[in-house]
Amino acid sequence: MSIAASRDVLRPQNVFTNWLFGLALACAPLVFRLLRMLRPILRIGNRVVVTRYDDVREVFLNDQSFRVPYREKLDVIMGRQPFFLSMDDTPDYRRDTAAMRKVILQSDIPARLAPQVERRAEKIVAANGRLEVVDALVRQVTFEVLGEYFGISNPPDGDLRVWATRLFEFQFADASNDPELRREVDDIAPKLRDHIQTLIEKRRKSGRVIDDVLGRCLIKQDAKETGFSDDQIRTSLMGFMVGGPPQPPMVAPQALEQLLRRPDALAGAQHAAVSNDDKALAGYVFEAMRFDPLAPALPRVATRASSIAAGTRRAVTVPEGATVYVAFSSAMMDQRRLLQPRSFNPRRLSHEYIHFGYGLHTCFGLYINLAVLPLMLKPLLKQLRLRRAPGRQGHLRKRGVFADQLYVDYD
């Protein structure tokens, strides 16, 4: 079987390496807590770790000095076509993001995406009394709903869940530049580009008008609006599928695991779900995510010699070319900006969360995530006697940075 035809969403991991990585993730909150007190901005050679809330926001907001390091790998994925995730604040960035905001509309969230997510999750939950949360619930709902919304069907010779997740891993989680993963990417990436291009051409040839993102892009292209060439449409759709759907199967099961560890919080989340109080439910889910977010930190690269926290005792000079690890997970635990950060509080204010980045490269799907992530768990949280499945299956298992498996029982 070719790599592109694989049905295994997550790659096999060496047992010892996976254990060691899991241990490092488990220790990260304590390490960050010590750094916030003793060395809030830690520089070791050409690497800098930023841990306090104010300093994390400062780096995220200073794109001129600290740019995203995604271009090299995005060039591999996109066949050297530019995607705005790797761009600075340039006319091209503003053109491409403005174009996509014409076809990805906030009004779609309450009218379309949120109801579809909840309805499909309800159907899955209703058919089970024991449910695997990562793949059978969250990943299935995410790829079905977003694939349909973007107009990207499953490729005939592969699995979109596998392709998108492997490319996401290569782009965001492959710190060691694994040659085996690179071989997979070199196989998958051109196939996904060809698949999306084929969808574009078939849709245009058919003359069918479908109200999805692809269909809206083709209407804009036919009207000769800027930002809607085939290359731009293909690259944007591919970027959204690679950067978007792999994330909910990571963070939503992690949030549920945190709720299961806290009976009072679980009871509160279930009450909100049963009461259809989606605002309160979101408070529980995003607070749970604070204790196990998407990643410990996001990288930035210094484009010039700069300083962080200038004028303070913790100020650090950052040399040009240094890699800056912006520990947004640590920022969300900073007692200087969050009251009692180690306590579970589902009524925190929105500025206390940095789940989706900050500044120029805030997640493009921010408002979609805010609305639909809690709804993926809502039908499950409505169930009576929701509890862990017996044994190891009932505790979240991870494979590298990815949530792998979590079984729950309910009546």
For the chain, the average pLDDT equals 96
pTM: 0.96
Q: How confident is the model at residue 148 (pLDDT cuts 50, 70, 90)?
A: very high
CA distance 293 to 249: 12
3-state helix, strand, coil in the chain (%, to 5): 55, 10, 35
pLDDT tens-digit readout, 190-202: 999 999 999 999 9
Burial of 42 (0-12, 13-18, 19+ CB in 10 A): middle
pLDDT tens-digit readout, 258-316: 999 999 999 999 999 999 999 999 999 999 999 999 999 999 999 999 999 999 999 99
Would you state the structure tokens that stand for residue 176, as one six-digit string?
């060691």
CA distance 283 to 334: 19
What is Dmax (Cα atoms) for the chain? Answer: 65
CA distance 198 to 213: 15
Per-residue pLDDT averaged across 39-47, rounded? 97
* pLDDT of res. 287: 98
In the predicted model, is pLDDT for residue 255 greater than 50?
Answer: yes
Would you state the structure tokens that stand for residue 290, as one six-digit string?
């604070």
Q: 235 Cβ partners below 8 Å, 6+ apart?
A: 78, 81, 82, 83
Asked if 316 and 43 count as a contact pair (C-beta separation under 8 A), the reply is yes
Asked if 124 and 116 count as a contact pair (C-beta separation under 8 A), the reply is no
What SS3 class is residue 326? Answer: strand
What element of type H or E holds 66?
Answer: strand 66-67
Of 191, 194, 231, 238, nearest in space to 213 by CA? 238
CA distance 276 to 127: 21
In the predicted model, is pLDDT for residue 2 greater than 80?
Answer: no
Q: How confident is the model at residue 7 (pLDDT cuts 50, 70, 90)?
A: low
Would you state the structure tokens that stand for residue 202, as one six-digit string?
């078939």
* pLDDT of res. 127: 94
CATH of the domain at 223: 1.10.630.10
CA distance 250 to 164: 13
Tell me which residue range forms the domain holding 64.
3-409
Per-residue pLDDT averaged across 356-380, rounded? 96
Per-residue pLDDT averaged across 398-409, rounded? 97
CA distance 346 to 52: 22
Would you state the structure tokens that stand for residue 141, as one six-digit string?
């709902």
pLDDT tens-digit readout, 47-100: 999 999 999 999 999 999 999 999 999 999 999 999 999 999 999 999 999 999
pLDDT tens-digit readout, 110-141: 999 999 999 999 999 999 999 999 999 999 99
* pLDDT of res. 5: 58
State percent of the chain over pLDDT 70: 98
Query: Given strand 130-132, what is the order of strands in its sheet?
Result: 130-132, 407-409, 387-388
b/e sequence 6-18, b meaning 16+ C-beta within 10 Å: beebbbebeeeeb
Q: How confident is the model at residue 1 (pLDDT cuts 50, 70, 90)?
A: very low
- The angle, 0 to 180 degrees and rounded to 10, between the axes of the packed helices 230-243 and 91-101 is 80
Q: Where are the beta strands (DSSP E) in 98-181?
A: 130-132
CA distance 54 to 34: 17
pLDDT tens-digit readout, 176-234: 999 999 999 999 999 999 999 999 999 999 999 999 999 999 999 999 999 999 999 99
State percent of the chain over pLDDT 90: 97
Q: What DSSP string runs through 14-48?
A: -HHHHHHHHHHHHHHHHHHHHHHHH-SEEEETTEE
| Domain count for the chain | 1
* pLDDT of res. 3: 59
